[in-house]
């Protein structure tokens, strides 16, 4: 019997299988390339996300630089205890107990050497000794001084604004302005008893850590003349 003659253009079963295998291998290689590309892109994206998160954490945790202070520095405006107070001046006085009168660098004093006996906090109708009042500042008190020429009505309003503890109010001749508020190494001058900076100053400095001995006694010391 004569063998069948292959039809021109047709392939044998073996050749067909080989062709299919080649096609499968090519498809597998293509898929492998796609997977590698996807993995590479995913890795790059993950690294970018991690870098972004780390950068955000670093920037958010970076502390804000505090306002610079020092001897005779003036600060800007503010609305709260944590903000700077307009016209505020800070100093670098040091503490120490001495006997006798002291010549201070500020008028009224905002710190420095002082008498070993503190002034009892409260309201005074007469000037008080600098050396005893400065001791109060060391204990965290705020000393409010006013020009003796301030109208009686304004003095009354000023008294009404005084907190009940850790404050001293007294007249003071020769002030640079109508009213001066002093704490340890901090001072501000105001012209009106309604000035909002009075409350701001109390909130920021009364019995605060800015003083060398905050919370130390403000009673049991000296009662100067004119205490109410």
Same structural domain, 85 and 179: yes
Between β-strands 89-90 and 142-146, what pairing exists: parallel, antiparallel or unpaired?
Answer: unpaired
Mean pLDDT in residue range 1-26: 58
Strands across the sheet containing 89-90: 73-74, 89-90, 186-190, 179-183, 142-146, 167-171, 122-123
Give the confidence band of 84 by pLDDT, cuts at 50, 70, 90: confident
The CA distance from 142 to 134, in Å, is 10
Residue 191, domain extent = 73-205
How many domains does the chain divide into? 2
| Residue 64: per-residue pLDDT | 36
Please report whether residue 3 resides in a domain: no
Mean pLDDT in residue range 158-171: 97
Same structural domain, 186 and 124: yes
| Residue 54: per-residue pLDDT | 45
pLDDT digits (tens, 9 = 90+) for 100-138: 999 999 999 999 999 999 999 999 999 999 999 999 999
Q: What tokens were used for 19?
A: 């062709």
Higher-pLDDT residue of 190, 52: 190
pLDDT at 25 over 90: no
pLDDT digits (tens, 9 = 90+) for 29-55: 766 666 665 565 655 555 555 555 444
The CA distance from 132 to 136, in Å, is 7
| Residue 221: per-residue pLDDT | 97
Same structural domain, 21 and 48: yes
Same structural domain, 55 and 131: no
pTM: 0.67
The residue written with tokens 């020429």 in the block is 149
Same structural domain, 81 and 23: no
Please report whether residue 5 resides in a domain: no
Same structural domain, 87 and 190: yes
């Amino acid at each position: 019997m004569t063998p069948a003659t292959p039809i021109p253009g047709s392939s044998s079963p073996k050749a067909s299988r080989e062709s299919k295998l080649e096609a499968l291998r090519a498809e597998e290689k293509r898929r492998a390339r796609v997977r590698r590309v996807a993995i590479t892109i995913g890795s790059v994206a993950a690294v970018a996300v991690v870098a972004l998160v780390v950068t955000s954490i670093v920037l958010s945790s970076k502390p804000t630089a505090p306002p610079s202070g020092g001897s005779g520095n003036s600060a800007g405006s503010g609305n709260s205890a944590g903000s700077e107070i307009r016209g505020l001046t800070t100093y670098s006085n040091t503490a120490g107990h001495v006997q006798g009168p002291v010549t201070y660098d500020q008028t009224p004093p905002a710190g420095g050497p002082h008498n070993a006996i503190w002034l009892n906090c409260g309201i005074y109708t007469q000037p008080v000794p600098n050396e005893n009042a400065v001791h109060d500042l060391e204990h965290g008190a705020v000393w409010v001084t006013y020009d003796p020429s301030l109208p009686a009505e304004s003095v009354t309003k000023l008294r009404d604004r005084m907190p009940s503890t850790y404050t001293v109010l007294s007249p003071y001749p020769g002030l640079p302005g109508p009213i001066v508020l002093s704490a340890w190494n901090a001072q501000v001058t105001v012209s009106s008893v309604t000035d909002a900076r009075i409350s701001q100053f109390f909130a920021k400095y009364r019995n605060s850590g800015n003083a060398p001995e905050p919370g130390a006694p403000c009673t049991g010391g000296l009662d100067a003349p004119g205490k109410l």
